[in-house]
């Protein structure tokens, strides 16, 4: 199937949109009529511009409120259509998209609608242009694609076909039964859009919340599987109406759309092909290799000068120590258990560039993989740009790709014998300090701008094969934080992804401080939360209100001595049918905070029930800090 995208999906003018589409690998575009109207070039120049980018102009869209109207109105519509066809001929467009009528004047008369569309198709034939009819889910009389097909069938014209739009199909409650029998020569092309499950009017959902397939909850893959089974070879085209998409730069959003297309190709192939065929397709690059991310090998911080002192003091308070130094760069490794934290001071590095933009912050993640070459081929298949770093003689060249926001993702070959730091770092001979017993990185929470939420989660889903949970709302004192958790197959890698549109929420405060998306929270697992809590430097622990523990004792009927001990150490608690969860938080440093946790039994969640407590306490500390600053300023 050939791949296209409607220009309404992207921001910018037609030049910017064409450029973004071509760079992402699309073969065609649907030009939204407003984009053409606002562009300062002639239709002939637009045609040549598309040709220079090797793009077909699949359609000009849409022609609204055309069919089944009173005769006087129809005369005007035919004049309007004649001008449209002349414009399209100059433009070199292949199809005119006609949406089912929403006008109050529209008549519930299939015979009339068919006759009107046949007249339109005959006009199109004279210009060498096909007409595609599509059912809007809110059409006045025609709102299901079964109805639209009946009208196309009755019109029986060689230049009239059906355009199937996945959003309208599923939003109207239709299934794929008709598509399994529809003559392929009457299928003009297919428009794809997904959407989340939201309780709202269909028109509002369509105009503001559509998304790329794989980012929402509609069964778009089932539609694609049906088309593949039928042997459809025509165009599939993204048509997405989304406020955040139109506010984002066009190039990364076009890449998101192509990733969605490539992801669907992969999913369909793996559902239908035998293992031997898949292996052959992977070998020749038709399909990407399977994802094989095993664990989070390291977290890298970009730091510099005096601003590093606060972070290193906190890490020391958590029982970490500088265990290794890089052989040629100003980079140190801080370890505890299986936790590797890289602190990068190097001036000539990607980390320093990140520091200049975002200050002290997490600049990179290192994922371990059992097949480095396969993961690199997979990242390339999903359009992840490779990142270059300065490599000294004899040093490891750890490959990297662009991650979420301005961050970087490194791929480290999994090895039980040789670790990434054994080659480029030398161990320090200082005596080991008493650690807290932290064992591994349990999860990291990444906060992104609302407009990047879908893109970031689909990045992990497509490139790394991670599983994405449904959204849940977390309640801040100053708004709502929307969260979804992303994990690899065995949940060794867990990434809660958070966003909020409320300007005073903890998520937005972090985005302002970090000047963009980034890692806001790092959670460490331990085997004995009480030992860890007693050993941690108390100056860095986030205080929890006494009222929380009064409520806790009532809610869970806990032993009074246990609750008192948790209160003394600021430990929070959750319990479900699978087990128990104990955790505490540190205060924020440069917008980042740490969590220490212990899972007991089979508990597999994140203590979300306590998220409002944590965010409330962080807001209190932020307010107190602001008041102290205001008091100091008032003295001058």
576-632 pLDDT, tens digit per residue, is: 999 999 999 999 999 999 999 999 999 999 999 999 999 999 999 988 888 877 777
pLDDT at 634 over 90: no
The residue behind tokens 């770092």 is 425
Q: What is the pLDDT of residue 430?
A: 63
Least confidently predicted of 313-327, 342-356, 418-432, 518-532: 418-432
* pLDDT exceeds 80 at position 529: yes
Residue ranges, comma separated, of all CATH 3.10.180.10 domains in the chain are: 293-427, 438-623
pLDDT in tens, 233-259: 999 999 999 999 999 999 999 999 999
Which CATH superfamily is 2-283 part of? Divalent-metal-dependent TIM barrel enzymes (3.20.20.150)
Model pLDDT, residue 525: 98
Angle subtended at Cα 597 by Cα 596 and Cα 599, rounded to the nearest 5 degrees? 165
Closest to 59 (Cα-Cα) out of 41, 83, 85: 85
Q: How far apart are CA 268 and CA 286, in angstroms?
A: 13
pLDDT(281) > 60: yes
Whole-number pLDDT of residue 193: 97
Superfamily per CATH, domain 293-427: 2,3-Dihydroxybiphenyl 1,2-Dioxygenase, domain 1 (3.10.180.10)
First vs last Cα of the chain: how many Å apart?
Answer: 69
pLDDT recorded at residue 320: 94
**Helices vs strands, H then E, count in the chain:** 22, 26
Residues 6+ apart with CB under 8 A from 205: 171, 195, 198
How far is the C-alpha of 319 from the C-alpha of 534, rounded, in Å? 12
* Structure confidence at residue 392 (pLDDT): 60
Would you tell me the crossing angle of helices 71-91 and 110-126 to the nearest 10 degrees? Answer: 30
559: Cβ contacts below 8 Å, ≥ 6 apart: none
Average pLDDT value for the chain: 93
Q: Among the listed ranges 75-79, 433-437, 555-559, which one has the minimum average pLDDT value?
A: 433-437
Q: What is the DSSP letter of 184?
A: G
Q: What is the mean pLDDT of residues 394-412?
A: 88
The residue-averaged pLDDT of 542-552 equals 95
Q: Is residue 394's pLDDT more than 70? A: no
Contact 544, 570 (CB under 8 A): yes
> Is the pLDDT at 342 greater than 70, yes or no?
yes
Which conformational region is residue 401 in: left (phi greater than 0), alpha (psi within -120 to 50 degrees), or beta? beta
b/e for 63-97, b at 16 or more Cβ within 10 A? Answer: bebbbbbeeeebeebeeebeebbebbbebbbbbbb
Rounded to whole angstroms, how far apart are CA atoms 294 and 440? 13
Q: Which CATH superfamily is domain 438-623 in?
A: 2,3-Dihydroxybiphenyl 1,2-Dioxygenase, domain 1 (3.10.180.10)
Confidence band, pLDDT 50/70/90 cuts, at residue 546 = very high
In this model, does residue 431 exceed pLDDT 50? no
Q: Which candidate, 308, 307, 337, 303, places its Cα nearest to that of 320?
A: 337
Q: How confident is the model at residue 433 (pLDDT cuts 50, 70, 90)?
A: low
Query: Tokens for 264?
Result: 């669907």
Strands (E), 398-539: 400-402, 408-413, 425-427, 438-447, 467-468, 472-476, 479-487, 494-499, 518-526
**pLDDT band (50, 70, 90) for residue 228:** very high
Closest CA to 166 of 149, 146, 185, 191: 191
- Our CA angle for 11, 14, 18, nearest 5°, is 90
Q: What does R_g of the chain's alpha carbons equal in angstroms?
A: 29
Query: What pLDDT sits at residue 294?
Result: 93
pLDDT of 275 over the 80 cut: no
User: What is the CB neighbour count within 10 angstroms for residue 130?
Assistant: 20
Q: How far apart are CA 109 and CA 141, in angstroms?
A: 9
Please report how many Cα atoms fall inside a 13 Å half-sphere around the Cα of residue 498, on the Cβ side. 28
Query: According to CATH, where is 3.20.20.150 located in the chain?
Result: 2-283
Q: What is the pLDDT of residue 434?
A: 57
């Amino acid at each position: 199937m050939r791949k296209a995208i409607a220009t309404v999906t992207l921001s910018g003018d037609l030049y910017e949109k064409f450029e973004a589409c071509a760079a992402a690998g699309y073969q065609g575009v649907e030009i939204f009529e407003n984009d053409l109207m606002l562009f300062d070039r002639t239709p002939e120049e637009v045609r040549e511009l598309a040709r220079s980018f090797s793009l077909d102009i699949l359609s000009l869209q849409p022609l609204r409120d055309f069919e089944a109207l009173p005769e006087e109105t129809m005369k005007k519509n035919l004049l309007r259509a004649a001008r449209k066809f002349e414009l399209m001929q100059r433009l070199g467009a292949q199809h005119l998209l006609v949406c089912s009528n929403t006008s109050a004047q529209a008549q519930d008369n299939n015979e009339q609608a068919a006759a009107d569309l046949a007249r339109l198709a005959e006009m199109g034939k004279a210009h060498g242009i096909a007409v595609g009819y599509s059912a809007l889910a809110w059409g006045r009389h025609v709102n299901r694609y079964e109805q639209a097909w009946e009208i196309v069938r009755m019109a029986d014209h060689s230049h009239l076909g059906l355009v199937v739009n996945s959003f309208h199909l599923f939003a109207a409650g239709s299934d794929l039964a008709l598509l399994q029998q529809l003559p392929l020569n009457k299928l003009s092309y297919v428009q794809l859009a997904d959407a989340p499950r939201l309780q709202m009017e269909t028109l509002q959902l369509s105009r503001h919340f559509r998304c790329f397939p794989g980012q929402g909850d509609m069964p778009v893959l089932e539609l694609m599987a049906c088309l593949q089974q039928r042997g459809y070879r025509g165009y599939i085209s993204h048509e997405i109406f989304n406020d955040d998409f139109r506010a984002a730069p066009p190039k990364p959003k076009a890449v998101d759309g192509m990733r969605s297309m490539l992801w669907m190709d992969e999913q369909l192939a793996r559902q239908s092909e035998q293992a031997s065929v898949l292996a052959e397709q992977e070998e020749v690059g038709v399909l990407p290799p399977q994802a094989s991310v095993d664990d989070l090998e390291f977290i890298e911080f970009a730091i510099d000068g005096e601003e590093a002192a606060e972070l290193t003091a906190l890490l020391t308070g958590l029982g970490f120590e500088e265990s290794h130094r890089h052989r040629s760069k100003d980079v140190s490794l801080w370890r505890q258990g299986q936790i590797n934290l890289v602190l990068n001071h190097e001036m000539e590095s990607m980390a320093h560039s990140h520091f200049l933009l975002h200050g002290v912050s997490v600049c990179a993640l290192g994922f371990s993989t059992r097949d480095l070459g396969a993961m690199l081929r997979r990242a390339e298949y999903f359009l992840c740009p490779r990142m270059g770093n300065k490599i000294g003689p004899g040093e490891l060249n750890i490959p990297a790709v662009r991650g979420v926001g301005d961050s970087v993702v490194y791929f480290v070959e999994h090895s039980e014998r040789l670790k990434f730091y054994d080659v480029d770092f030398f161990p320090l001979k200082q005596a080991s300090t008493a650690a807290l017993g932290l064992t591994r990185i349990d999860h990291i929470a990444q906060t992104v701008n609302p407009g990047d939420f879908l893109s970031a989660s689909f990045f992990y889903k497509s490139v790394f094969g991670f599983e994405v949970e449904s959204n849940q709302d977390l309640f801040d004192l100053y708004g709502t934080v929307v969260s979804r958790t992303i994990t690899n197959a065995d949940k060794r890698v867990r990434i809660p992804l958070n966003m909020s549109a409320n300007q005073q929420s903890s998520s937005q405060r972090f985005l302002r401080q970090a000047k963009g998306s980034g890692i806001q929270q790092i959670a460490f697992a331990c085997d004995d939360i009480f030992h860890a809590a007693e050993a941690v430097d108390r100056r860095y622990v986030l205080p929890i209100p006494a009222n929380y523990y009064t409520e806790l004792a009532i809610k869970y009927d806990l032993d009074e001595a246990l609750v008192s001990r948790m209160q003394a150490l600021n430990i929070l608690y959750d319990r479900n049918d699978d087990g128990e969860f104990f955790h505490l938080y540190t205060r924020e440093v440069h917008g980042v905070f740490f969590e220490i946790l212990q899972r007991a039994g089979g508990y597999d969640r994140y203590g979300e029930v306590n998220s409002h407590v944590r965010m409330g306490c962080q807001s209190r500390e932020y307010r107190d800090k602001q008041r102290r600053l205001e008091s100091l300023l008032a003295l001058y």
